[in-house]
């Protein structure tokens, strides 16, 4: 199950893709840059969420043994 960071990360990545596409259509370099930043920020958030989930899963396994 996805945690908060993973969901927020996916959202930020999607938002970034939309901003980049809008920037491409309007030749707005600032909007494209914001989109790139949102995608990077989202990837980092998702990565943090993945680590948290892995730690949680590992500690749950330890308690079950």
Please give the pLDDT value at position 62: 60
Q: Kindly report the pTM of this predicted structure.
A: 0.84
Query: What is the secondary structure of the chain as a DSSP string?
Result: ---HHHHHHHHHHHHHHHHHHHHHHHT-HHHHHHHHHHHHHHHHHHHHHHHHHHHHHHHHHHHH-
- Mean predicted confidence (pLDDT) in 31-38: 98
Reported as a single tens digit per residue, the pLDDT across 6-32 is 999 999 999 999 999 999 999 999 999
* Mean of all residue pLDDT scores within the chain: 92
Spatial CB neighbours of 42, under 8 Å, sequence gap ≥ 6: 8, 9, 10, 11, 12, 13, 14, 15, 16
């Amino acid at each position: 199950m996805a945690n908060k960071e993973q969901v927020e990360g996916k959202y930020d990545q999607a938002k970034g893709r939309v901003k980049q596409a809008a920037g491409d259509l309007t030749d707005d370099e600032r909007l494209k840059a914001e989109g790139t930043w949102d995608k990077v920020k989202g990837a980092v958030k998702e990565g943090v969420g993945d680590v948290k989930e892995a730690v949680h899963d590992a500690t749950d396994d330890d308690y079950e043994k």
